[in-house]
Structure 1
Amino acid sequence: MTTQNAINWPEKYLPGTGDNFVSNEVIVQGLTAAHVWQYLTDTSTWESYYDNVADISFPQGGGPVLKDDLAFSFGTFGFPPLDAHVVEFESPAEGVPGRLSWVAGQDGPPARRLDVLHAWLVEDLPDGRVRILTQETQIGEPAAELAKQVPNPMLNGHQAWLDGLVRASSGRARV
Protein backbone atom coordinates (compact mmCIF):
# COMPACT_ATOMS: atom_id res chain seq x y z
CA MET A 1 0.00 0.00 0.00
CA THR A 2 1.18 3.49 -0.83
CA THR A 3 0.51 6.25 1.64
CA GLN A 4 -0.20 9.53 -0.07
CA ASN A 5 1.03 12.80 1.35
CA ALA A 6 -1.19 15.63 2.56
CA ILE A 7 -1.16 19.42 2.47
CA ASN A 8 0.53 21.17 5.39
CA TRP A 9 -2.16 23.48 6.81
CA PRO A 10 -1.50 26.49 9.04
CA GLU A 11 -4.13 26.51 11.80
CA LYS A 12 -5.79 29.70 10.52
CA TYR A 13 -6.66 27.98 7.22
CA LEU A 14 -7.51 24.50 8.48
CA PRO A 15 -10.06 22.94 6.08
CA GLY A 16 -13.60 23.31 7.34
CA THR A 17 -12.87 26.35 9.49
CA GLY A 18 -13.11 29.01 6.75
CA ASP A 19 -15.97 30.26 4.62
CA ASN A 20 -15.15 28.18 1.53
CA PHE A 21 -12.94 25.12 1.04
CA VAL A 22 -12.35 23.09 -2.09
CA SER A 23 -10.17 20.10 -2.87
CA ASN A 24 -9.30 18.85 -6.35
CA GLU A 25 -7.02 15.99 -7.31
CA VAL A 26 -5.89 14.11 -10.40
CA ILE A 27 -3.69 11.05 -10.74
CA VAL A 28 -2.30 10.47 -14.22
CA GLN A 29 0.17 8.14 -15.85
CA GLY A 30 3.08 9.13 -18.05
CA LEU A 31 4.16 12.34 -16.28
CA THR A 32 6.62 13.04 -13.50
CA ALA A 33 6.26 15.41 -10.57
CA ALA A 34 9.37 17.29 -11.74
CA HIS A 35 7.86 17.92 -15.18
CA VAL A 36 4.49 19.06 -13.81
CA TRP A 37 6.34 21.26 -11.31
CA GLN A 38 7.89 23.29 -14.16
CA TYR A 39 4.46 24.30 -15.48
CA LEU A 40 2.99 24.88 -12.03
CA THR A 41 5.75 27.15 -10.76
CA ASP A 42 6.38 29.13 -13.97
CA THR A 43 3.60 31.71 -13.93
CA SER A 44 4.44 32.75 -17.49
CA THR A 45 2.77 29.48 -18.60
CA TRP A 46 -0.42 29.77 -16.52
CA GLU A 47 -2.49 31.77 -19.00
CA SER A 48 -1.64 29.28 -21.77
CA TYR A 49 -3.47 26.46 -20.00
CA TYR A 50 -5.80 28.13 -17.46
CA ASP A 51 -8.45 30.66 -18.54
CA ASN A 52 -9.26 31.88 -15.03
CA VAL A 53 -6.04 33.77 -14.32
CA ALA A 54 -4.83 37.14 -15.59
CA ASP A 55 -2.71 40.15 -14.78
CA ILE A 56 0.13 38.23 -13.11
CA SER A 57 2.77 40.62 -11.80
CA PHE A 58 5.67 40.77 -9.38
CA PRO A 59 5.46 44.17 -7.65
CA GLN A 60 8.70 43.64 -5.72
CA GLY A 61 10.59 42.08 -8.63
CA GLY A 62 11.42 38.45 -9.27
CA GLY A 63 9.32 35.98 -11.18
CA PRO A 64 7.96 34.62 -13.38
CA VAL A 65 9.07 31.41 -11.64
CA LEU A 66 7.70 31.11 -8.12
CA LYS A 67 10.04 30.52 -5.19
CA ASP A 68 9.90 30.66 -1.42
CA ASP A 69 8.92 34.05 0.05
CA LEU A 70 8.11 35.62 -3.34
CA ALA A 71 5.38 38.27 -3.56
CA PHE A 72 3.18 38.35 -6.65
CA SER A 73 -0.33 39.35 -7.67
CA PHE A 74 -2.91 37.96 -10.06
CA GLY A 75 -6.56 38.24 -11.00
CA THR A 76 -8.92 35.27 -10.75
CA PHE A 77 -12.63 34.47 -10.31
CA GLY A 78 -13.53 38.04 -11.23
CA PHE A 79 -11.76 39.51 -8.19
CA PRO A 80 -9.47 42.50 -8.59
CA PRO A 81 -5.84 41.35 -8.57
CA LEU A 82 -5.06 39.58 -5.31
CA ASP A 83 -1.83 40.26 -3.44
CA ALA A 84 -0.12 36.89 -2.95
CA HIS A 85 2.93 35.63 -1.11
CA VAL A 86 4.56 32.19 -1.40
CA VAL A 87 4.69 30.64 2.09
CA GLU A 88 5.77 27.07 1.25
CA PHE A 89 8.00 25.98 -1.60
CA GLU A 90 9.69 22.61 -1.86
CA SER A 91 10.58 21.16 -5.25
CA PRO A 92 9.77 17.48 -5.76
CA ALA A 93 12.60 15.00 -5.34
CA GLU A 94 12.81 11.23 -5.10
CA GLY A 95 10.45 10.21 -2.30
CA VAL A 96 9.60 13.86 -1.53
CA PRO A 97 6.50 15.59 -2.93
CA GLY A 98 6.62 19.07 -4.37
CA ARG A 99 4.86 21.53 -2.08
CA LEU A 100 3.71 25.00 -3.05
CA SER A 101 1.43 27.26 -1.02
CA TRP A 102 0.61 30.92 -1.16
CA VAL A 103 -1.55 33.22 0.86
CA ALA A 104 -3.51 35.77 -1.14
CA GLY A 105 -6.12 38.35 -0.44
CA GLN A 106 -7.55 41.76 -0.79
CA ASP A 107 -8.29 44.37 1.84
CA GLY A 108 -11.26 46.67 1.95
CA PRO A 109 -14.71 46.72 3.48
CA PRO A 110 -16.02 43.36 4.77
CA ALA A 111 -18.06 42.74 1.60
CA ARG A 112 -14.80 42.72 -0.42
CA ARG A 113 -12.24 41.42 2.09
CA LEU A 114 -10.77 38.05 1.17
CA ASP A 115 -8.06 35.91 2.78
CA VAL A 116 -6.94 32.70 1.05
CA LEU A 117 -4.42 29.91 1.35
CA HIS A 118 -3.99 27.98 -1.91
CA ALA A 119 -1.85 24.84 -1.61
CA TRP A 120 -0.47 22.36 -4.12
CA LEU A 121 1.10 18.95 -3.67
CA VAL A 122 2.74 17.15 -6.61
CA GLU A 123 4.10 13.66 -6.03
CA ASP A 124 5.34 10.70 -7.99
CA LEU A 125 3.48 7.46 -7.36
CA PRO A 126 4.45 3.89 -8.30
CA ASP A 127 3.93 2.65 -11.86
CA GLY A 128 4.85 5.92 -13.57
CA ARG A 129 1.97 7.92 -12.12
CA VAL A 130 1.88 11.42 -10.70
CA ARG A 131 -0.61 12.84 -8.22
CA ILE A 132 -1.53 16.52 -8.29
CA LEU A 133 -3.59 17.79 -5.36
CA THR A 134 -4.73 21.37 -4.94
CA GLN A 135 -6.75 22.65 -2.00
CA GLU A 136 -7.84 26.11 -0.97
CA THR A 137 -9.37 27.64 2.12
CA GLN A 138 -10.98 31.06 1.78
CA ILE A 139 -12.07 33.42 4.53
CA GLY A 140 -14.37 36.40 4.02
CA GLU A 141 -17.79 37.43 2.70
CA PRO A 142 -16.83 36.95 -0.98
CA ALA A 143 -15.75 33.39 -0.11
CA ALA A 144 -19.03 32.67 1.66
CA GLU A 145 -20.91 33.88 -1.42
CA LEU A 146 -18.88 31.56 -3.68
CA ALA A 147 -19.57 28.63 -1.34
CA LYS A 148 -23.35 29.14 -1.67
CA GLN A 149 -23.27 28.69 -5.45
CA VAL A 150 -24.05 25.28 -6.93
CA PRO A 151 -21.83 24.09 -8.34
CA ASN A 152 -19.11 25.88 -6.41
CA PRO A 153 -17.16 27.98 -8.96
CA MET A 154 -13.95 27.33 -7.03
CA LEU A 155 -14.33 23.58 -7.37
CA ASN A 156 -14.89 23.81 -11.12
CA GLY A 157 -12.23 26.49 -11.59
CA HIS A 158 -9.57 24.50 -9.82
CA GLN A 159 -10.51 21.37 -11.77
CA ALA A 160 -9.98 23.35 -14.96
CA TRP A 161 -6.57 24.42 -13.61
CA LEU A 162 -5.62 20.80 -12.89
CA ASP A 163 -6.85 19.60 -16.28
CA GLY A 164 -4.96 22.38 -18.06
CA LEU A 165 -1.81 21.68 -16.04
CA VAL A 166 -1.94 18.01 -17.06
CA ARG A 167 -2.50 18.95 -20.73
CA ALA A 168 0.36 21.45 -20.72
CA SER A 169 2.70 19.05 -18.91
CA SER A 170 1.95 16.28 -21.38
CA GLY A 171 2.34 18.55 -24.42
CA ARG A 172 -1.28 18.28 -25.50
CA ALA A 173 -2.97 21.33 -26.98
CA ARG A 174 -5.89 23.02 -25.27
CA VAL A 175 -9.24 21.47 -26.21
Structure 2
Amino acid sequence: MMNSIVWPKNYQPGKTDNFVSNEVIVAGLTSQDVWLYLQNAYLWPSYYKNASDVVLSHGKKYLVLGEKFSFKTFGFPIDAEIMELNQPQEKTAARIAWHGWTGEEDTRLDVYHAWLIEDLPDHWVRILTQETQIGLPAQALAKVRPNPMLNGHQAWLDGLVEIALSNKTN
Protein backbone atom coordinates (compact mmCIF):
# COMPACT_ATOMS: atom_id res chain seq x y z
CA MET A 1 0.00 0.00 0.00
CA MET A 2 1.33 3.43 -0.92
CA ASN A 3 1.39 6.29 1.54
CA SER A 4 -0.67 9.46 1.19
CA ILE A 5 -0.41 13.12 2.13
CA VAL A 6 -1.46 14.08 5.67
CA TRP A 7 -3.83 17.04 5.34
CA PRO A 8 -4.76 19.61 7.98
CA LYS A 9 -8.54 19.77 8.36
CA ASN A 10 -9.02 23.11 6.55
CA TYR A 11 -6.85 22.07 3.59
CA GLN A 12 -8.30 18.68 2.67
CA PRO A 13 -8.75 18.17 -1.09
CA GLY A 14 -12.35 18.57 -2.13
CA LYS A 15 -12.96 21.15 0.59
CA THR A 16 -10.72 23.86 -0.88
CA ASP A 17 -11.02 26.17 -3.87
CA ASN A 18 -8.30 24.48 -5.92
CA PHE A 19 -6.35 21.22 -5.77
CA VAL A 20 -3.59 19.73 -7.91
CA SER A 21 -1.80 16.42 -7.65
CA ASN A 22 1.31 15.27 -9.50
CA GLU A 23 3.19 12.02 -9.14
CA VAL A 24 6.07 10.15 -10.73
CA ILE A 25 7.55 6.72 -10.11
CA VAL A 26 11.18 6.44 -11.17
CA ALA A 27 13.64 3.57 -11.43
CA GLY A 28 17.19 3.94 -10.20
CA LEU A 29 16.62 6.52 -7.47
CA THR A 30 16.01 6.33 -3.74
CA SER A 31 14.24 8.73 -1.44
CA GLN A 32 17.70 9.75 -0.14
CA ASP A 33 18.78 10.68 -3.68
CA VAL A 34 15.79 13.02 -4.03
CA TRP A 35 15.55 14.45 -0.51
CA LEU A 36 18.53 16.81 -0.65
CA TYR A 37 17.00 18.71 -3.57
CA LEU A 38 13.77 19.38 -1.68
CA GLN A 39 15.11 20.06 1.79
CA ASN A 40 17.67 22.54 0.44
CA ALA A 41 15.25 25.17 -0.82
CA TYR A 42 18.10 27.25 -2.20
CA LEU A 43 18.51 24.54 -4.87
CA TRP A 44 14.92 24.84 -6.10
CA PRO A 45 15.66 27.57 -8.69
CA SER A 46 18.43 25.39 -10.20
CA TYR A 47 15.90 22.84 -11.43
CA TYR A 48 12.52 24.60 -11.26
CA LYS A 49 12.12 27.84 -13.22
CA ASN A 50 9.06 28.96 -11.22
CA ALA A 51 11.02 29.23 -7.96
CA SER A 52 13.25 32.18 -7.11
CA ASP A 53 14.36 34.51 -4.30
CA VAL A 54 14.42 31.81 -1.61
CA VAL A 55 15.16 33.12 1.90
CA LEU A 56 15.23 30.89 4.98
CA SER A 57 14.69 32.58 8.35
CA HIS A 58 17.51 30.81 10.19
CA GLY A 59 20.09 31.49 7.46
CA LYS A 60 21.06 27.86 6.93
CA LYS A 61 20.47 26.01 3.68
CA TYR A 62 18.15 23.21 4.85
CA LEU A 63 14.49 23.58 5.73
CA VAL A 64 13.60 22.46 9.26
CA LEU A 65 10.30 21.85 11.03
CA GLY A 66 8.75 25.18 12.04
CA GLU A 67 11.01 27.11 9.65
CA LYS A 68 9.59 30.32 8.27
CA PHE A 69 10.82 31.08 4.78
CA SER A 70 9.89 32.99 1.68
CA PHE A 71 10.25 32.52 -2.05
CA LYS A 72 8.67 33.58 -5.30
CA THR A 73 6.71 31.21 -7.46
CA PHE A 74 4.94 32.10 -10.69
CA GLY A 75 6.20 35.64 -9.90
CA PHE A 76 4.25 35.86 -6.62
CA PRO A 77 5.99 36.37 -3.27
CA ILE A 78 5.06 33.59 -0.83
CA ASP A 79 5.60 33.57 2.93
CA ALA A 80 5.58 30.05 4.28
CA GLU A 81 6.13 27.84 7.31
CA ILE A 82 7.25 24.20 7.37
CA MET A 83 4.43 22.21 8.96
CA GLU A 84 5.75 18.68 8.43
CA LEU A 85 9.29 17.43 7.85
CA ASN A 86 10.29 13.78 8.09
CA GLN A 87 13.56 12.79 6.48
CA PRO A 88 13.81 9.51 4.58
CA GLN A 89 14.26 6.45 6.75
CA GLU A 90 14.17 2.77 5.98
CA LYS A 91 10.55 1.66 5.48
CA THR A 92 9.25 5.18 6.22
CA ALA A 93 8.21 7.73 3.59
CA ALA A 94 9.90 11.11 3.62
CA ARG A 95 7.53 14.05 3.99
CA ILE A 96 7.80 17.79 3.74
CA ALA A 97 4.87 20.22 3.74
CA TRP A 98 4.39 23.93 4.16
CA HIS A 99 1.57 26.37 4.65
CA GLY A 100 2.09 29.36 2.38
CA TRP A 101 0.25 32.62 1.84
CA THR A 102 0.33 35.81 -0.16
CA GLY A 103 -1.90 38.85 -0.52
CA GLU A 104 -4.24 40.78 1.73
CA GLU A 105 -7.90 40.25 2.66
CA ASP A 106 -9.88 39.66 -0.57
CA THR A 107 -6.76 38.92 -2.65
CA ARG A 108 -5.26 36.50 -0.13
CA LEU A 109 -4.19 33.10 -1.35
CA ASP A 110 -3.58 30.35 1.23
CA VAL A 111 -1.91 27.13 0.16
CA TYR A 112 -0.84 23.88 1.69
CA HIS A 113 1.88 22.23 -0.40
CA ALA A 114 3.01 18.72 0.51
CA TRP A 115 5.59 16.27 -0.80
CA LEU A 116 5.84 12.56 -0.14
CA ILE A 117 8.86 10.52 -1.26
CA GLU A 118 8.88 6.80 -0.71
CA ASP A 119 11.06 3.91 -1.72
CA LEU A 120 9.26 1.13 -3.55
CA PRO A 121 10.42 -2.45 -4.12
CA ASP A 122 13.05 -3.18 -6.79
CA HIS A 123 14.87 0.19 -6.52
CA TRP A 124 12.04 2.47 -7.54
CA VAL A 125 11.04 5.73 -5.86
CA ARG A 126 7.63 7.39 -5.80
CA ILE A 127 7.46 11.18 -5.59
CA LEU A 128 4.05 12.72 -4.94
CA THR A 129 3.36 16.43 -4.63
CA GLN A 130 -0.06 17.90 -3.95
CA GLU A 131 -1.31 21.38 -3.20
CA THR A 132 -4.62 22.75 -1.99
CA GLN A 133 -5.48 26.43 -2.25
CA ILE A 134 -8.03 28.69 -0.61
CA GLY A 135 -9.14 32.18 -1.68
CA LEU A 136 -10.50 34.14 -4.61
CA PRO A 137 -7.24 33.78 -6.59
CA ALA A 138 -7.51 29.99 -6.13
CA GLN A 139 -11.09 30.00 -7.37
CA ALA A 140 -10.02 31.82 -10.52
CA LEU A 141 -6.96 29.61 -11.00
CA ALA A 142 -9.07 26.45 -10.78
CA LYS A 143 -10.94 27.52 -13.92
CA VAL A 144 -7.87 28.15 -16.10
CA ARG A 145 -7.15 25.54 -18.80
CA PRO A 146 -4.60 24.20 -19.11
CA ASN A 147 -4.14 24.36 -15.35
CA PRO A 148 -0.90 26.29 -14.68
CA MET A 149 -0.46 24.74 -11.22
CA LEU A 150 -0.75 21.21 -12.56
CA ASN A 151 1.74 21.95 -15.33
CA GLY A 152 4.02 23.94 -13.03
CA HIS A 153 4.19 21.19 -10.42
CA GLN A 154 4.87 18.62 -13.15
CA ALA A 155 7.81 20.77 -14.25
CA TRP A 156 9.01 20.83 -10.62
CA LEU A 157 8.77 17.03 -10.41
CA ASP A 158 10.51 16.56 -13.76
CA GLY A 159 13.32 18.92 -12.76
CA LEU A 160 13.68 17.21 -9.38
CA VAL A 161 14.01 13.79 -11.00
CA GLU A 162 16.45 15.11 -13.60
CA ILE A 163 18.79 16.72 -11.06
CA ALA A 164 18.65 13.70 -8.74
CA LEU A 165 19.46 11.31 -11.60
CA SER A 166 22.26 13.51 -12.95
CA ASN A 167 23.91 13.74 -9.52
CA LYS A 168 23.40 10.15 -8.40
CA THR A 169 26.59 8.86 -6.83
CA ASN A 170 26.32 5.08 -7.28
TM-score tier by shorter-chain length is over 0.9
SS in 2 for 1:133: strand
Alignment-derived partner of residue 128 in structure 1: 123
Alignment-derived partner of residue 102 in structure 1: 98
> Structure 1 residue 62 and structure 2 residue 59: aligned?
yes
Q: Distance in 2 between the 1:51 and 1:64 partners?
A: 19
Alignment-derived partner of residue 21 in structure 2: 23
Equivalent positions of 1:1-175 (< 5 A) are 3-58=1-56, 60-79=57-76, 81-110=77-106, 112-171=107-166
Equivalent AA in structure 1 for residue 161 of structure 2: V
In the TM superposition, residue 168 of structure 1 has moved relative to its aligned partner by 0.4
In the TM superposition, residue 64 of structure 1 has moved relative to its aligned partner by 2.0
Unaligned runs of 5+ in 2: none
Seen in structure 2, the aligned counterparts of structure 1 residues 34 and 114 have a Cα distance that, compared at 3 Å, is same
In the TM superposition, residue 109 of structure 1 has moved relative to its aligned partner by 3.3
How many matched pairs? 167
Unaligned runs of 5+ in 1: none
Q: Distance in 2 between the 1:19 and 1:117 partners?
A: 12
Q: Distance in 1 between the 2:99 and 2:105 partners?
A: 19
Equivalent AA in structure 1 for residue 7 of structure 2: W
Equivalent AA in structure 2 for residue 36 of structure 1: V
TM-score norm. by structure 2 comes to: 0.95
Q: Identical aligned pairs, as a percentage? A: 55
Q: Distance in 2 between the 1:49 and 1:107 partners?
A: 26
Give a deviation string over 1:117-159, Cα, whole Å, max 9, x none: 0000000000100000000000011111111100110000000
Equivalent AA in structure 1 for residue 63 of structure 2: L
Contact conserved, 1:62 with 1:70, CA < 8 A, in 2?
A: no
In the TM superposition, residue 78 of structure 1 has moved relative to its aligned partner by 2.6
In the TM superposition, residue 67 of structure 1 has moved relative to its aligned partner by 1.2
Contact conserved, 1:43 with 1:66, CA < 8 A, in 2?
A: yes
Alpha-carbon RMSD across the aligned residues, in angstroms, is: 1.1
Q: Distance in 2 between the 1:166 and 1:13 partners?
A: 27
